[in-house]
Structure 1
Amino acid sequence: MAPSRGWIHLTQNRVNARRLFGTRSPNFIRAATDPSNKAQVYISRSLDPYLNLSIEHYLLQKTPADSTILFLYTNRPCIVIGRNQNPWVEVNLGLLRYGELKVDLVRRRSGGGTVFHDEGNVNYSVICPTSTFDRDKHAQMVVRALQSLGVEKAKVNQRHDIVVDKVTDGEKKTFKVSGSAYKLTRLRSLHHGTCLLSSPNLPTISSYLRSKAKPFIKARGVESVSSPITNTGIASESFEKAVVSEFSTMYSSEEVTLVGSPEENVPEIAKGLEELKSLDWTYCQTPQFTFSYSTGRDTGTAEGHGFELDFTARHGEITSVDDSEYGKGVSRTALNSTVTSLKGQKIHEIEDWIRLLPQASSPSGTRETHPGVVMNDLFGGNKWD
């Protein structure tokens, strides 16, 4: 594939790839907001998912309404949920909090499903006028970049995901390598996605995205659609160069600007960073849901625990509790205390359900069968050793 005009321009000025990805604009704000800057390319060298999403949001809000922006970034290990998703449905919070791998939980501002990011992914974001927005246009751009790097079977499917076909165990199967999410405003539209390149966590990603509480929750939010995934085997810098080249061909952009930790000092970005790091943003943006647990339902661990619990939560806060069938051998006084202690609680602030729930009678009567231990297991509360 012939290099783009922008890449030719840089090459003719003897700027190699290392220098290209090692320069920084002296004034990020001026570059981003310049009304004459119709095509802009930014690459982040920060691995902070909160910062990268805040920079992205700044570019969505502040760049000229008729400009088109490419932003590439890589995050440290994190799970990123969609704007209208329920973390208690999407994520194994116990594994997230107590697993060996340190993983951040981040709620982005766009819709779509839950994704796992690490240093083996490169995330791409294209911001353009809403009048020219198309869900497949820039996914196809990424496909062309992958194909130029030898991933010839890459394509966009009907769900706007990028997939590849592979022969596994003698059978051709389709694997997802990139999913997308979108945010549309009156003037500006955002399409961003993550491309699996060489994630070392591929075998364990599914365990982080398998919530133990999900079978007992009825939620209004958007649930993710699971798909088999695979790495493309492409180096991150090669992917970045190829995507920049394709973008430059489309929009005649000639400069790449690096961003990262210095942009934390931009007031709007600092404000967005603070919001995304807030636990209230992560958990309390959750749409209303109901939780209903009863002994005997198929949990894989709960048989014989001998209790039932039903509650409704709105914006992550328990608003009503039904304890009418809680469990045998529990006094009315204890149940009244349970309702009082649970109502008004923000679920993510409950570190140990054992302190809130009375013991119901059970055949063994051991600590393992305590309702609080079950709830800790489902909601990622304190681990009982």
Structure 2
Amino acid sequence: MASLNRLLARSRVPRLANIRRFSEAVSHPSNRVQAYVSRSSDPYLNLSVEHYLLQKSAPESVVLFLYTNSPCVVIGRNQNPWLEVNLGLLNRAGLLAKTQGSSDDADEGVALVRRRSGGGTVFHDEGNVNYSVICPSAAFDRNKHAEMVVRALRSLGAESTRVNERHDIVLDVSALASSSGGGAETYKISGSAYKLTRLRSLHHGTCLLSTPNLSRISQFLRSPAEPFLKSRGVDSVRSKIQNVRVANRDFEEAVVAEFGGMYGDVDAEIITAGEARHVPDVMKGYEELKSPKWIYEQTPRFTFATHPTEEDPRERPDLPDYLPKDFKASLVVRHGEIVEANLSGISSSSIESVQVHEVGDWRAMIGDSAGRWFNGIFGAQPDQDRTLVCTHDVLTS
């Protein structure tokens, strides 16, 4: 019994050992249980390592990967960045709270990332830890590894966490502890996304532990284009969110321990940025994820109109007073390229065949007033114009 107790105790205190290059070990058939922790904060690199693990790990193996990203907004593979994100805010400094130990240039902006899995849009920063479990597709279960994370959180004192019917991890806050003054509140602390192939499945999610940007996240995830844009892609589901107030390293160790309890004692190996960058397949994926072709041109077809249309009969909000009274615009966009454009009430050059993300200043194409509005709606940031659009108002910095 003593030896069993020692084994259980050892499985709950993982050893983070950089014993060998992960690229040399990940595909070996003998490595049936593997765990890795990235010490890079580059979201493109971490997602590329994750994809490498999905592609290269042995078919019968089970792999855990943990990583923390610098500030970024991550959209799902089939989502529309102009619908999900206020793109005009992403590259602006001064909007984020400083985290302890962050560098002076850590607040230069928020990266936009499109991941390879489905699901909705999320915000990452140093107060989130992301978890990923890769296993045989035959063993895939949407709740299995979310429950693993819940057990880890409960072992750290977060007793009121659970998996809900949407497979999200939520935190129930009692009426006594709730700041709303009403009844008990339920907050989302972790959402999940999935990628399934013939032999392998990936379940990953992010866990809100201690982000200092909790009150700022919504401003990045509310697009000024939303009332005017209809997309064939996947829309995000908005939820109330909350920190679970657990330290990153404690969370990492607890998740590795629970993973080891499920699949067998395992040493979690550290992956450094330098090590990951020496793997050609990782860097191939890295360059793809950073490319505008992937980020913007993967966007499913969408329409944009200032007025109700047959395809999108919603009522629209009032347009700004500085636009001509008879101004109307409707666009059809495929893979980020405008394939149909109808503009009235202004003099403009043709904007068909234009890639939306490549326009630095719409004023040069459709005139000052309409161009000013399009700059805010679509997130263009001309050097001389720092106009922002937040919801339907124009805020001038």
Task: Please indicate the TM-score interval, normalised by the length of the shorter structure.
Answer: 0.7 to 0.9
Offset at 1:3? 8.1
Query: 1:145 pairs with 145, 149, 152, which one?
Result: 152
| Secondary structure of residue in 1 paired with 2:281 | helix
Q: Deviations over 1:191-233 (max 9, x none)?
A: 0000000000000001100000011011000000000000000
Letter in 1 for 2:126: E
Does the C-alpha gap of structure 1 residues 273 and 3 become closer, same or farther in structure 2, counting only changes over 3 Å?
A: farther
Does the C-alpha gap of structure 1 residues 6 and 75 become closer, same or farther in structure 2, counting only changes over 3 Å?
A: farther
Q: Deviations over 1:30-68 (max 9, x none)?
A: 210110100000000000000000000000000000000
| Secondary structure of residue in 1 paired with 2:184 | strand
Is the 1:4–1:248 Cα contact (8 Å) retained in structure 2? Answer: no
Letter in 2 for 1:284: E
The normalised TM-score by structure 1 is 0.88
Offset at 1:28? 1.7
Q: Deviations over 1:119-148 (max 9, x none)?
A: 000000000000000000000000000111
Query: 1:123 pairs with 124, 130, 147, which one?
Result: 130
Offset at 1:170? 3.3
Does the C-alpha gap of structure 1 residues 322 and 152 become closer, same or farther in structure 2, counting only changes over 3 Å?
A: same
**Matching of residues 324-363 of structure 1 within 5 Å:** 326-327=344-345, 330=346, 334-335=347-348, 338-339=349-350, 342-358=351-367
Q: Which moved more, 1:188-197 or 1:167-176?
A: 167-176
Is the 2:91–2:111 Cα contact (8 Å) retained in structure 1? Answer: no
Give me the identity figure in percent.
53
Query: 1:264 pairs with 258, 274, 277, which one?
Result: 277
Q: Deviations over 1:263-297 (max 9, x none)?
A: 111010010000001111101000000110159x7
- Residue matched to 1:376: 375
- Residue matched to 2:46: 52
In 2, distance between residues paired with 1:5 and 1:160? 31
Is the 2:12–2:253 Cα contact (8 Å) retained in structure 1? Answer: no
Letter in 2 for 1:290: T
Is the 2:34–2:268 Cα contact (8 Å) retained in structure 1? Answer: yes
Does the C-alpha gap of structure 1 residues 7 and 104 become closer, same or farther in structure 2, counting only changes over 3 Å?
A: farther
Does the C-alpha gap of structure 1 residues 301 and 322 become closer, same or farther in structure 2, counting only changes over 3 Å?
A: closer
- Residue matched to 2:114: 107
Letter in 2 for 1:352: D
Is the 1:72–1:124 Cα contact (8 Å) retained in structure 2? Answer: yes
- Residue matched to 1:172: 184
| Pair 1:205 & 2:205 matched | no
The normalised TM-score by structure 2 is 0.85
Runs of 4+ in 1 over 6 A off after TM superposition: none
Q: Deviations over 1:344-370 (max 9, x none)?
A: 1111111111111036xxxxxxxxxx0
Letter in 2 for 1:310: S
- Residue matched to 1:230: 242
- Residue matched to 2:265: 253
Does the C-alpha gap of structure 1 residues 300 and 310 become closer, same or farther in structure 2, counting only changes over 3 Å?
A: closer
Is the 1:46–1:52 Cα contact (8 Å) retained in structure 2? Answer: yes
How well do the aligned residues superpose, as a CA RMSD in angstroms?
Answer: 2.0
In 1, distance between residues paired with 2:86 and 2:367? 25
Does the C-alpha gap of structure 1 residues 259 and 374 become closer, same or farther in structure 2, counting only changes over 3 Å?
A: same
